[in-house]
Amino acid sequence: MEVQWAPDLAGARRALLAARFDLMLLDLHLPDGDGRSLLQEPARLPPVIVLSAVGEESDVVELLELGARDYVQKPFRTGELLARLRSAVRHDHLADPGALAIQFDGEDQCIHVGRQRIHLSKLECRLLRCLLDAPDRPVTYEKLIAAVWGESDKDNVALRVLVAQLRQKIEPDVERPSIILSDRGIGYRLSIRPAIPTED
């Protein structure tokens, strides 16, 4: 594995223009500015894992919604960081368009996996559509709850129940989920990008 280091934002921008990378490890506190500015630029980025001593939930949510793949708070354990790096690279490779033959039909409230047709409830459809909008990226609990129930008093417990119901229908092994993954303290992510575009 080849690693390239950039000391600041300017160096990172030059490196991104000169080569293609499988992953970016981004520190927010750089000599010439805030690292999150890279996430706000229109240039296509590789999967980004953010490193920062800032651990407020609002900051983490903002970074994820800007497009960060993951977030690691300083000080971090080396083993955990390496595991997250491997996971991000692996998921990005799995997101190849040929990885999973899946088609979501929101009008008929069903999902087609290969030749199998699986009926979904209205709430399950809303949940899956929200996850499909951000394939292989964390979607926060709050965003999922708003997408499924709108303005309501539903909480994370109700969301966990709904996720469990959807997993029962689409996971090969419910005990070891491989499609809808939990990001503890943040939300859920759909681990593999569907091969066929969703239908409205």
| pTM (predicted TM-score) | 0.49
Query: What tens digit of pLDDT does each residue of 116-164 get?
Result: 678 888 899 899 989 988 888 899 999 999 999 987 778 888 999 999 9
C-alpha distance from residue 14 to each of 8, 30, 45, 47 (Å): 10, 15, 13, 17
- One DSSP character per residue, 24-44 reads EEEESEETTEETHHHHTSSS-
